[in-house]
Chain A
Amino acid sequence: SYILTQPPSVSVAPGKTARFTCGGDNIETKSVHWYQQKPGQAPVLVIHHDSDRPSGIPERFSGSNSGNTATLTISRVEAGDEADYYCQVWHAISDHRVFGGGTKLTVL
């Protein structure tokens, strides 16, 4: 099975840039999606297909994917960005969906 690895936590001061990594074997060959989940709420899609933003998601959210690491970047971090962030891919060989373990963002 395919494994996605995310660091458990990231801390950043307001106004700074937060980066979330998602590691996987040759992940650049897959399309990576990112979700934001606030406490008690369902996940919300913030980036799809590596770097595309759904309508309504601020331009501060961006994504990239290269080699064995995909990255979600939040610029000019705000207190309201505090949440858990999950990466997800489709493992085509098995037709399975895989989530990373999630990274908790703390805004200092």
Chain B
Amino acid sequence: DAGVTQSPTHLIKTRGQQVTLRCSPKSGHDTVSWYQQALGQGPQFIFQYYEEEERQRGNFPDRFSGHQFPNYSSELNVNALLLGDSALYLCASSNRWGYTFGSGTRLTVV
């Protein structure tokens, strides 16, 4: 049974560009959350999707947006990239029994 799958694993973008990250949740999970993790720090909550709608949002600007599809997969979009957006982006899927994290997408903005 596949866990959470994220793509791509690594990405290099130029400041000002836009990026889309993708996440396929674990089978049986209907909720997807996205986190940003700076090097050596704990993950910070970006937002959560359930039933194709954004259910909760953390303290991130509107440049960060997302989407959830009918098959529960999700995308994270970041516009007008800044150098400070360089981080590991983690997707976590969940149901009432708990969370499973993907291995993340390492985004580098140059």
Q: Answer yes or no: are A and B bound together in one complex.
A: no
Binding site for A on B (CB under 8 A): none
